[in-house]
Structure 1
Amino acid sequence: MKISLTHAPFDRQLIISDITEAGVETLLSRLGLFRGDKFVREDEEVLLHPVRLRGEKGEVVLGGGMATRVIVHLDDGRRMPLTDMRTGQRGHIEGTTCSANLTEALNVLGLNEDEEVVYLRQLPSMDYTVAVGKSGRAVSIQEGMAAKIWGRIGERRLQFVSAGKGQPFFVEKILGGLRSTKALEEKGIAVGHTINLEAVAPAQIFNMAVQEAVVISTDDGLHLHLRPGQAERILVEPMEP
């Protein structure tokens, strides 16, 4: 069934079935997107930068969306989300504003309630090129999603953001909810799979929107921020999960 991109589901593979305005078609073609091509509509978390902090188990990375839902009690008595902290600030995790999945993910990373964390820095938007499974198919994921992949290299357990290039990484857990799990499964990354990091590079983001944006991403690393009016002219068909 054809629907406009503005009404398409998030975190699902979509196929471009039609483009109803010549200007939008020209814009997409210049960026290498044509009828029949596939992409994923991202949710608003794609606009948030990941953060690096130090906890009980050392340095870890949290995706921007996850970090907004972790509330920290600073040493000076203030309370705020992790994303509002500044470099070098210390505090204790007071709780979260989200589901039990988030609390469990934090526990895996050693970020337990009432324990101290040190905010290190906000991270720039980066793309990770990942070789998936025996086929070695290359897909692109953003740093915030890479931070949600937990597993091991040999006997060492770590986040995928800390993996070295070319080292087989066995996926043991996805540190997020159902949407994150499904989004990664769409790219062939799931618990029990082995993946390899091929490259890390600054994200190539094309922003055609001033404020509100419909954000799409392709497997080869294109991130495109479209105005709602542009997205309305793109008709897509969701692929079966």
Structure 2
Amino acid sequence: MLNLKNAESGYCYRIKNTPQGESAQKLAALGLYKGSAVTKLDLDDVKYSTVKVDTKNGVRVISGQLAKHITVRAGSGSPKPFYDAAPSATVITYSLGKCEKNAKRLAMLGIKPRMKLKIIKSLPPMEYVVNVNHKNRVRISEAVAAMIIGDTVNRKNFQFTFSPKGVEFKVSGIAAGKKIATFLNNADINIGSVLSMEGIESGKRVDLDAEQEIVLHTFEGVVITMSEKTASLIEVE
């Protein structure tokens, strides 16, 4: 039986069955009921915060999924993981990760080796309400929005996080791995798609159990964590 415990992360699933009784009511209140769609995320998707940095080419937003691969050096110190750097520090990128694909994705954002970065701040979880191709409305996290590159009439080759409200933004690149790319494809966001940012809201998160072992994202924009035990009781297809 395929359930939310053994299902592969990074993909969208439709709920086939949930526990009965009080548990079913609690799950339904969060948007988890028979027939509803949900995306299973990696734990790292919520473990590492999205960060804003300043570079010689302007401000950039880097998702935790990409920033976690960066090692940096501050002054004459030894290289260390990006998230070990002091808040508001000025650092030099030392490595962009062992995987060449990660380096290419960061390069799409304008982040390169041996580059000076000023860490501005870690960002709280935020949700972008997005109109896709003039027909669908979806919600994506700021971390995911930062991976979408495109153009407007007045600006070229920049992150969707900086797109003005209500302005058409044509996607020209996606700086994400297979799982996030699949998530975006399920939302009909691909190269050539036309997006329009309708609004930004505080991210909604619910920790269903004390054990935060499984992470889900609903189409209502809610991030839900739960134990593997609870996840094993939710059958999906």
Same fold (TM over 0.5): yes
- Structure 1 residues 5 and 74, CA gap change in structure 2 (3 angstroms): same
C-alpha deviation, 1:45, in angstroms: 2.5
Alignment of 1:195 with 2:156, yes or no, is no
- Percent identical across equivalent pairs? 23
Q: Is the 8 A contact 1:57 1:109 kept in 2?
A: no
- How far apart are the structure 2 equivalents of 1:14 and 1:108? 30
C-alpha deviation, 1:177, in angstroms: 1.9
2:93 alignment counterpart: 93
Q: Is the 8 A contact 1:52 1:62 kept in 2?
A: yes
For residues 33-44 of structure 1, what are the structure 2 equivalents within 5 Å?
33-44=32-43
C-alpha deviation, 1:24, in angstroms: 2.6
1:17 alignment counterpart: 16
Q: Which consecutive residues of structure 2, in runs of 5 or more, have no partner in the other structure?
A: none
Q: Is the 8 A contact 2:151 2:170 kept in 1?
A: yes
**Cα deviations across residues 90-110 of structure 1 (Å, max 9, x unaligned)?**
111111224222211222322
Scaled by the length of structure 2, the TM-score of the pair is: 0.93
SS of structure 2 residue aligned to 1:5:
coil
Once the two structures are overlaid, the 10-residue window that deviates more, 118-127 or 73-82, is 73-82
Q: Is the 8 A contact 2:96 2:106 kept in 1?
A: no
Amino acid at match of 2:92: H
- How far apart are the structure 2 equivalents of 1:199 and 1:117? 28
Once the two structures are overlaid, the 10-residue window that deviates more, 72-81 or 123-132, is 72-81
- How far apart are the structure 2 equivalents of 1:36 and 1:173? 32
- How far apart are the structure 2 equivalents of 1:130 and 1:100? 31
Amino acid at match of 1:11: G
Q: Which runs of 4+ in 1 moved over 3 A?
A: none
Q: Is the 8 A contact 1:56 1:111 kept in 2?
A: no
Q: Which consecutive residues of structure 1, in runs of 5 or more, have no partner in the other structure?
A: none
2:68 alignment counterpart: 68
Scaled by the length of structure 1, the TM-score of the pair is: 0.92
Amino acid at match of 2:179: R
Once the two structures are overlaid, the 10-residue window that deviates more, 117-126 or 207-216, is 207-216
